[in-house]
Structure 1
Amino acid sequence: MHCSEPEDSTAMKFLVAAIWILDTLHVSFMCHILYYYLITNYGVPTSLEYIVWSFPASGMVNSLVIVLVQFFFARQIYFLCRPRPLVKWLVTTPIVSIIFTKIRFYGEAPDLAIVALAEVLITVSLCILFYDSRSRSAFRRMKRVMDTLIIYAINRCCLTLLVTIAELTVNLNQLNDWTIGLDFIIGKLYANSLLASLNSREHLRSKDACTLSNLRISTIHFENPPKLPGNAQSSKDGARQFDASAITTTSQREGEV
């Protein structure tokens, strides 16, 4: 489930819609695979010798979901590095190159290894950028927000990376039964990682709002205000002096009349 924000761009909404459609297609293909082997060809062992068309189609849909999600996080890294033009290209260019290499080796053994490498680079880049922002901030709540973002990035990497390595291992050992199960999981993990990162924005904004409100309060709170030099007095005393001078001026004018 995705909670849309009013400031979301059209491209972001199209991305979420594309992920939703692709995930629905993947579930449909998996249902077709199960229906073909367990119902249509039930009790026909020779049917296991053939690969139904929906099996490679589901793998292609999963690869497309992974590519879109990794491009999304590469884009986030690009915008985080925007104040430093040289750094943003040095960080994002290798990630994008690896993602395009994954498309080149689709369906081959290096495919999952490239996915794992891109995942590690994305996570390391996000953690470094968040830690750098944390070290530059002077507010404790903002540092907590950065710590939360680092934890989110590490958790996302652990889930997707472990499943990717497991699928790569069973592929190398030619354990096709396990491959189908892990292939079903990995697409869901990437789709949910994108939606979770978008849905967490409201929670992080609430922490940021608390930080800003505390900043405003601290700027107007004075524990021991200093006394002004010379004849300056409080506003209350100033008001009294103004009233007294106004009365004196009025009485003088009445006496002249």
Structure 2
Amino acid sequence: MLVFEATQVIPIILVQLPTFKKQDRFATDTPSPRSIVPSSPHPAPNLSFPDTSYSNDMGIPDGFGSALIGGLISAMLYGITTLQTSVYYMHYAEDAPTTKFLVAAIWILDTIHISFICHMLYYYLITNYGVPTSLERIVWSFPASLLVNVLVVCIVQCVFAHIIYCLCRHRVKWLVTAPIILLILVHFGFALETAILMFINQQFSILTQARFYAVAPALAIVALVEVLITVSLCVLFYDGGSRSGFPRSKRLFHTLIIYAINRCCLTLLVTVAELAVNLDQLNNWTIGLDFIIGKLYANSLLASLNSREHLRSKDEGTLPDLPVSTIHFANPLKLPGVVESSKDGTKQFIVPEVAVTDTTTDPVPDKTMVLQREGEV
């Protein structure tokens, strides 16, 4: 009987032994926290981190990362605007009061624009950090910055349209400038519509809804106006250079053509890029590029005004291109052969001595070429 019982017990131990080892592997001597922590009537605080994974395309960092980059670049461009404004008032104090007021207005609007940008970024990235629902709401400084930005662009384009009007011939003045001014007004209307919709709706979804009937047409018109202004300036400068008989003037007009093209390239490139990302439904990059475009227009106007002194100094430093010699009369007060007429009292020069000095070549010290010529005058 003992042998039988042993044979019955040993297999049971062998079978249950792995079960005991598996329990020992996960078993711990430390009691669970729930068994030692007394129950409290107050709920335990939630120590989890805020969930920033938001499905909206304006989330962090996918959305406002690009907006932050655009804001930083815009702040750098504002510094350049301030520098150019101070340079203008230091070197062009003799300009008309209208031009001085225009420069001051551009700088003030640019300052207001960068202030709205800073408020917008601080609101979303600092004040409402960790609040995903705040990313759905449009803060008031965003449409306000849009209005100021559009106002700067329209003012600068109107200034260049006025320049084209002054350079055009009388017959084609309004024929060239009227379409440009009309497109500028249409662009301002589309931008005003977008800003009003953002003030009323206060949801980022309105940008998607107004993409094809407000935002995209406004950007397309800006690009079209920029092309018209640049082409008009280049044609006028080229026509002025071709009609001029002075090579120095031709070089000056060619320099102005290069300036006009360079001004257009940067602003047009950013405008087309903003239009492309807007059509691709990338609202985040649209906001970032919109921060920059107004600063580019303000700097383009100030650079055009501040480059006048450089062009003048370059023009004055160039020697005359025509082979014109300066004629100096030797002893103009006592010329030989002077006969005074008895009828009208005029003097007649019979055989004067003339000294002609060629000043078209570089002067050489102690080697002045003087040609003595005799002739009847």
Amino acid corresponding to residue 191 of structure 1 in structure 2:
A
Please report the RMSD computed on the Cα atoms of aligned residues, expressed in angstroms.
2.1
Q: Distance in 2 between matches of 1:58 and 1:202?
A: 33
Looking at structure 1, the residues matched to 350 and 148 of structure 2 have their Cα atoms a distance apart, in angstroms, of 80
Q: Which of 207, 210, 220 is matched with 2:326 structurally?
A: 220
More helix by share: 1
> Kindly tell me: are residues 155 and 33 of structure 1, through their superposed partners in 2, closer, same or farther at Cα, counting changes over 3 Å?
same
- Structure 2 residues not aligned, in runs of 5+: 1-83, 195-213, 329-348, 356-377
CA contact (8 A) 1:141 1:207 kept: no
Aligned residue for 1:52, secondary structure, equals coil
Deviation at 1:21, TM superposition (A): 0.6
2:241–2:250 Cα contact (<8 Å) kept: yes
Asked if residue 150 in structure 1 is aligned to residue 246 in structure 2, the reply is no
One-letter identity of the residue aligned with 1:132: D
1:27 corresponding residue in structure 2: 114
Question: For residue 87 of structure 1, what is the amino acid of its counterpart?
Answer: V
Report what 1:68 is aligned to.
155
Task: Give the strand-richer structure, 1 or 2.
Answer: 2
CA contact (8 A) 2:247 2:321 kept: no
Q: Contact 2:248–2:321 at 8 Å: present in 1 too?
A: no
Alpha-carbon displacement from aligned partner over 1:119-157 (angstroms, at most 9, x marks no partner): 000000000000001101222222111111101111111
CA contact (8 A) 2:157 2:184 kept: yes
Partner of 2:136: 49
Q: CA-to-partner distance for each residue in 1:9-60, whole Å, 9 max, x for gaps?
A: 1111111111101111111111001100111001111111111111111111
Bigger Rg, which one: 2
Query: 1:45 and 1:88 mapped to 2: Cα distance?
Result: 54
TM-score normalised over the length of structure 1: 0.82
Amino acid at match of 1:51: I
* The one of 299, 308, 332 aligned to 1:192: 299
Q: Using the TM superposition, name which of 144-153 and 166-175 deviates more.
A: 166-175
| Equivalent position of 1:234 in the other structure | 353
- Aligned-pair distance for 1:214? 2.3
Look up the equivalent residue of 2:262 and give its one-letter code: N
Q: 1:142 to 1:50 in 2, by over 3 A?
A: same
**Candidates 219, 229, 233, aligned match of 1:112:** 219
Choose from 164, 171, 194 the match for 1:77: 164
Letter in 2 for 1:171: N
Q: How far, CA to CA, are the matches of 2:237 and 2:142 in structure 1?
A: 39
Out of 163, 172, 189, the residue aligned to residue 87 of structure 1 is: 172
Aligned to 2:70: none
Aligned mates of 1:129, 1:194 — CA distance in 2: 18
Question: What CA distance in whole angstroms lies between the structure 2 residues aligned with 1:196 and 1:68?
Answer: 15
One-letter amino acid matched to 2:152: V
Q: Counterpart of 2:281 in 1: which secondary structure?
A: coil
Q: What amino acid maps onto 1:193 in structure 2? A: S
Percentage of pairs with the same residue = 67
The runs of at least 4 consecutive aligned structure 1 residues that moved more than 3 Å come to: none
Give the 3 Å change call, closer, same or farther, for CA 93–219 of structure 1 in structure 2: farther
Q: Which residue type is aligned with residue 45 of structure 1?
A: P
Q: How many Å apart are 1:216 and its aligned residue? A: 9.2
Mapped partners of 1:76, 1:145: distance in 2 = 17
Aligned mates of 1:80, 1:7 — CA distance in 2: 22
Aligned length: 226
- State which of 117, 123, 131 in structure 1 corresponds to 2:230: 123
What are the equivalent positions in structure 2 for 1:174-189 lying under 5 Å apart? 174-189=281-296
Cα 1:215/1:144, change in 2 over 3 Å: closer
State the alpha-carbon separation in 2 of the partners of residues 123 and 221 from structure 1.
Answer: 45
Q: Secondary structure at the match of 1:214?
A: coil
Residue type of the partner of 2:222?
A: V
Measured against aligned partners, the alpha-carbon deviations of 1:212-246 in whole angstroms (never above 9, x if no partner) come to: x6279835269xxxxxxx9514169xxxxxxxxxx
State the TM-score, normalized to the length of structure 2. Answer: 0.57
Query: Within the alignment, does 1:164 sit opposite 2:271 as a pair?
Result: yes
Give the letter for the 1:184 counterpart. Answer: F
More deviation, 106-115/36-45: 106-115
Which residue in the other structure is 1:97 paired with?
Answer: 182
1:17 corresponds to 2:94:
no
Matching residue's letter, 2:320: N
- Note closer, same or farther for the CA distance 1:235–1:18 as it changes in structure 2 (3 Å cut): closer
| CA distance in structure 2 between the aligned counterparts of 1:219 and 1:137, rounded to whole angstroms | 21
SS in 2 for 1:232: coil
Counterpart residue number, 1:227: none
Uncovered stretches (5+) of structure 1, i.e. residues with no partner: 223-229, 237-257
